[in-house]
Homo-oligomer: A and B are copies of this chain.
């Protein structure tokens, strides 16, 4: 039913090889022949069958991006950037949603679906350190987010500790001492939550201040809702709070919402800072101080590394590189703005 290359060849009076040459812009085709073939293609309405090409070539021109949830602004902005970067390199992106659930993440690594694409950019959330060996796969893989314990897998990380430290120092500089942390959960692992907590407490420790655990509001998922709930719990404990550090922006915005509901002024009564620099934080009222983790660079780098591995045909190998993108503090109204320190 559909028009094939052989149909075109017949129509144009040439061979399939020639049609293929034309379609793929190969040399050694005379202009007149090319013309004729293109005309036939147009007349017959020929469209290439990608499954067939993929089968022959052994590659698909697609990569998989696996993220927890597309609706979280950080990931939607990241995905957007990955898609753009992939398009620049001629790749299309297939998006998998893991929900941040360990089982689904493991499944993404091994499922047959994965094999529909040439490689995987993977932002794990639920994986445990003991799952590290699961990342030793035989296809091109680039990890985003936290570091794999070791191994040969490329890995693009952000400066979580450095960024968190900068937030801590900034809040201290603004004279805040009773700082709540919203979102902390696991403080020991190698996950973002842990690293961002560590960097922060380190800044406090350097200033001779100890973080009061009663000012920690835990949140397993990082959403506006859980941020708000965590903030409420902290406030309800009755310990004074003059600043809030949300481990990411949506947590911070959820917390800010609770402060608003309780009539606390930001930044006069309570300063607020987040992490990720999602677009929304630039428009909240007040705008949100945060850490720009270099997301565009992360996206580009991840795609490049992956495409590179695909092109080289070297699926794994010992060349697992860890690239850490430098973060940058973005000071906005929620901590008093870029003006003079309070």
If A51-B54, A76-B71, A224-B283 touch, whether A97 touches B87 (CB-CB below 8 Å) is: yes
Kindly state whether residue A84 has any CB partner on chain B within 8 Å.
Answer: yes
Q: Is A80 an interface residue (CB 8 A)?
A: yes
**Interface with B: A128-136, A168-176, A180-188, A252-260, which one?**
A252-260
Do A116 and B92 have beta carbons less than 8 Å apart? yes
Contact residues in B for A17 (Cβ distance below 8 Å) = none
A8 → chain B, closest Cβ, in Å?
14
Most chain B Cβ neighbours within 10 Å, of A77, A79, A116: A116
Query: A interface, by DSSP: helix, strand, loop or mixed?
Result: helix
Taking a contact as CB atoms under 8 Å apart, the answer to whether A228 and B283 are in contact is: yes
| Chain A interface residue number, banded | 35 or more
State whether B115 touches A49 (Cβ < 8 A).
yes
A70 touches B62 (CB 8 A): no
Select one of B51, B77, B284 contacting A55, CB under 8 A: B51
A73–chain B nearest beta-carbon distance, Å: 7
Q: A54-B54, A70-B70, A70-B76 are in contact. Are A84 and B113 (CB under 8 A)?
A: no
**A216: CB under 8 A from chain B?**
no
Report if A242 contacts B (CB, 8 A).
Answer: no
- Of all chain B residues, the one with the shortest Cβ separation from A286 is B260
Q: How far is the CA of A49 from the CA of B73 in the complex (A)?
A: 34
- Would you list which residues of chain A between 23 and 76 have a CB under 8 Å from chain B? 47-52, 54-55, 58, 60-62, 69-71, 73, 76
B93 touches A95 (CB 8 A): yes
With a cutoff of 8 Å between Cβ atoms, the chain B residues found around residue A282 in the complex are 224
Q: Does A285 reach chain B (CB closer than 8 Å)?
A: yes
Other than the given A48-B112, A54-B55, 11 more pairs (CB < 8 A) read A48-B115, A50-B115, A54-B54, A60-B116, A62-B116, A70-B76, A71-B80, A80-B97, A92-B96, A93-B94, A224-B283
